[in-house]
Amino acid sequence: MQNIMPVSYKLLKGMNESLVLNIIRQRGPISRVDIARLTGLTQPTVTNITNKLMESNLIMEYMMGESSGGRRPVLLKMNPESLNVIVIHISSNKLSAYLTDGDINVIKQDTGKIKNLNKEQIIDMMHEYIARYQNEAKAQLPGIGVVVHGPVKAREGISIFAPNIGWKNVPIKFIVEDKFHIPTFVENDVRAMTLGEFYYGAARDVNNMVFLKVGYGIGSGIILDGRLYRGVGDSAGEIGHTTIDVGGPQCGCGNYGCLEAMASENALVKTMVKSIKEGRDSMVFDLVGGNLEDVTPEIVYEAAANGDILASRILRQIARYLGIAVANAINTFNPELIVIGGGITRAKSFIEETMMETVKCRALESCFQDVRISFSAMGDEATLKGAADMVMAEVL
């Protein structure tokens, strides 16, 4: 690491200093007046704290804001050169590595395929990227974030079970910290996406939301009163394993009729393949050259976009199951916002109408009338920003 800019974190030992910095990080560019309003601190206190933060190179004056009648306010934001963060995202088939600046802009990004690799090989790849980015960092590197699929013990930094790669009880935090001696924080991919949407996406202006990720599997993240709800055993949000149809197909968890077995992208592919094998016509068969092992969600979406009747019918079926799940979440949590993310967002035009009709029919009117339902526009960016935010929230 060359030419590292020195940054003092000593002043962040004060609660107010940390509060102000996090508001600027997550809400910036923002004026001192708005910081005072959001924190409840007096304007002189905010001015004093922000001056100290600028002296320590953590924040910067960014631009002039719009006038609301008086002088135009100066907007503050995180200083991009204040720090660097490494984020590792281990998904079903690939490992993505990111080096970001203090404003969560991506400086460098790499991707490696991990399909058919064992645990040791995946860890070696992770170590390789971390070592490379550690040497390329131009600012202090106070933390590393690792995102994995499946349940985690966030405090202990343990990946309890990652079905996509066969991990069980892997102590990621210990493994990384033992090698690099940098504080490391581990999170489930859906919760990381939830944090990204909450602080930087569609949910920036709400205090209560449910994020529903529909991809190869299905999971959710829950924000209550502005805080991520984890549950007693750090397992809250497993909406994919709630029962939708007691007579439904077997899920990977061993139960029958789970939402994940009925409405995930994996379920979409299985349903399409099964239907074709049973003799139903679909252009999907031609798109994969007759090799049904090559069917992917993207191919089903392509077929639907080209008017394929079977693909459209299966997507409407998926939409009904998702509508039931969304209605259940609305009735349970009464949130301000439901955000749907994951690969299924590529099928928005085919599922939205049916899903919304189902939600409207099944959700209680008292809960439904106040909720907004939207599809995420952030994609994987939500995972990256959520993971980087997690690291900075812990460190700062």
What is the pLDDT, as a whole number, of residue 261? 95
Residue 242, pLDDT > 60, answer yes
Q: For domain 15-78, give the CATH number.
A: 1.10.10.10
Q: 274 or 3, which is more confident? A: 274
Q: Whole-model pTM?
A: 0.88
pLDDT tens digit sequence for 13-29: 568 888 899 899 988 89
Rounded to an integer, the average pLDDT of 117-133 is: 95
CATH superfamily for domain 85-190+381-395: ATPase, nucleotide binding domain (3.30.420.40)
Which of these, 246, 200, 252, 190, lies nearest to 221 by C-alpha position?
190
Q: How far apart are CA 302 and CA 286, in angstroms?
A: 12
Whether 202-377 and 85-190+381-395 are alike in CATH topology: the answer is: yes
Asked whether the predicted pLDDT for residue 151 surpasses 60, the reply is yes
Percentage of the chain exceeding pLDDT 70: 96
Categorize the per-residue pLDDT at 73 as very low, low, confident or very high, splitting at 50, 70 and 90: confident
Predicted confidence at residue 1, as pLDDT, reads 46
pLDDT at 8 over 80: no
Question: What does the pLDDT average to over 322-342?
Answer: 96
Each residue's pLDDT tens digit, 194-231: 999 999 998 988 999 999 999 988 999 999 999 999 99
CATH superfamily label, 202-377: ATPase, nucleotide binding domain (3.30.420.40)
pLDDT of residue 185: 97
**Does the pLDDT value for residue 4 go beyond 50?**
no
For the chain, the domains span 15-78, 85-190+381-395, 202-377
